[in-house]
Amino acid sequence: MFSTAEFRAGLAMLSPLLPANTQRFLSQFYGVAGDPDPVTAMQVFITRHSLLRAWGEFQETRPLIVAPIYTGMPFEVGTDLADGAVAETIRGMRMAIAVNALGLPAAAVPVGTADGLPQVVQVIGPRYREDLCLDAAAALEEAFGIITPIDPT
């Protein structure tokens, strides 16, 4: 398990390869997340494994979960970099962040548009069951059709 400081150090080495806006977003992201002390980092590690076990038990009877990727309204390009916006983005993406932190397989699937805005869900499966996610994503694509990307201009 890497600490936030170790991850940031690794990211700093890759920084020249990242676009400036990505660097700025990640810097603000880790400003919100902070650097836990070693005791807190161990508590987070233990909590993560407890949550992973509980999630696994939950998915024994519910093998697929359909959830939002982002719970807020879509925002204009670049506004996620405004002061305080990174914290709001993190809150809006809490389900996607949790799924990634737990290492669960998921597939993002467009399911339509509303008022000209894309509507997308994530299909979350149990650990090591990417096949279930991909099968469910294919079924959703079959039901909703393949959504043509929206022209951003």
- Spatial distance between the Cα atoms of 74 and 86, rounded to a whole number of angstroms: 14
Q: Which residues pair with 114 in a beta bridge?
A: 117
Q: Is 114 in a helix, a strand, or coil?
A: strand
Which pLDDT score, from 0 to 100, does residue 123 have? 97
- Spatial distance between the Cα atoms of 107 and 141, rounded to a whole number of angstroms: 12
Q: Please, are residues 66 and 139 in contact by the beta-carbon 8 Å criterion?
A: no
Which pLDDT score, from 0 to 100, does residue 107 have? 96
Q: Which residues of the chain have pLDDT under 70?
A: 1-11, 35-36, 148-153
- Spatial distance between the Cα atoms of 87 and 33, rounded to a whole number of angstroms: 9
Residue 64 exposed, middle or buried by CB count within 10 Å (0-12, 13-18, 19+): middle
Torsion sign (Cα): 56, 58, 64, 69: negative
- Which token pair is 101? 């932190």
Which pLDDT score, from 0 to 100, does residue 117 have? 78
Rounded to two decimals, the pTM is 0.72
Which pLDDT score, from 0 to 100, does residue 139 have? 96
Q: Please, are residues 84 and 90 in contact by the beta-carbon 8 Å criterion?
A: no
Which pLDDT score, from 0 to 100, does residue 134 have? 97
